[in-house]
Amino acid sequence: MIQLDLIRKFRLTLPALREWINNLLERHKEQAVPVIKLGYARLPQIFSKDLLERSQLVVVTAKPPFPPVGSMGLSEFAAMENMSMDGITYKNTFFINHLRQTESLCFHELVHVIQWERLGVDNFLLSYGAGLMQSGYLDYRNSPLEDMAYSLQTRFDRRSLHTDVVGFVQQGTDAIWGGVAPLIFEARRDNKGT
């Protein structure tokens, strides 16, 4: 269930989340490798050269970094900080554990890059947060933005992708936002001045 109070709290945390993300990307910019340079064969058949040039991979030897949401005031999400994840995307950069790097996982994270670009930072974070509230925090794979990435990844693995993957992701992302936006506006209306 989505609670308006939680959405309000999430909105108040956006500046801290943005700052944490910007600092993270700044700290890792020397290690970030454009996806186009990874030498994968199938990704250039699916995505434009431009997207693969502006999307970047940072390989990490530990768990991919996750914001300290508990200490940012979002205790409801705190359990996610310790969850094992193979990869995670922030804006146009994704972090993947070195033991888990595959073309398939890079495809999954590129779906998130398109989602981030479509929504912008704040609306991506709000949509992702609202999706987690809907799905249950530890069941993040069922949240709508993840569900899209996982089901497309399955199609990638089976070689049964749609022809226009980018358009499909953009439309699906718009539809997810269409479900979330009214709740966010409602939360904002009830709490003027924040």
Q: Which residues bind Zn ion (CB under 5 A)?
A: 146, 149
**For residue 48, what are its two tokens?**
């434009």
Give the nearer residue to Zn ion in terms of CB position, either 117 or 146: 146
Minimum Å gap between C-beta 59 and Zn ion is 17
Pick the closer one to Zn ion by CB: 36 or 145. 145
Question: Least Å distance between CB 106 and Zn ion?
Answer: 12
Residue 1 CB-half CA count within 13 A: 3
Spatial CA neighbour of 38 closest among 20, 17, 14, 56: 56
Nearer to Zn ion (CB atom), residue 149 or residue 176: 149
Q: How far is the CB of 114 from Zn ion (least distance, A)?
A: 12
Q: What CA–CA distance (Å, rounded) separates 20 from 81?
A: 14
Nearest to 28 by CA among 64, 54, 52, 53: 64
Residue whose CB is less far from Zn ion, 153 or 187 = 153
The answer for residues whose C-beta is within 8 angstroms of residue 5's C-beta and 6 or more apart is: none
User: Which one, of 24, 159, 171, 29, lies nearest residue 103 by Cα?
Assistant: 159
Question: How many CA atoms within 13 Å lie on the side-chain side of 100?
Answer: 22
Nearest distance, CB of residue 66 and Zn ion, angstroms: 12
Indicate the residue among 11 and 108 with the shorter CB distance to Zn ion. 108
Nearest Cα neighbor of 153 from 191, 112, 96 is 112
Q: Which is nearer to Zn ion, 96 or 149 (CB)?
A: 149
Whole-number Å distance between alpha carbons of 89 and 41: 21
Residue 86 beta carbon to Zn ion: minimum distance, rounded to whole angstroms: 9
- Rounded to a whole number of angstroms, the minimum distance from the CB of residue 110 to Zn ion is 10
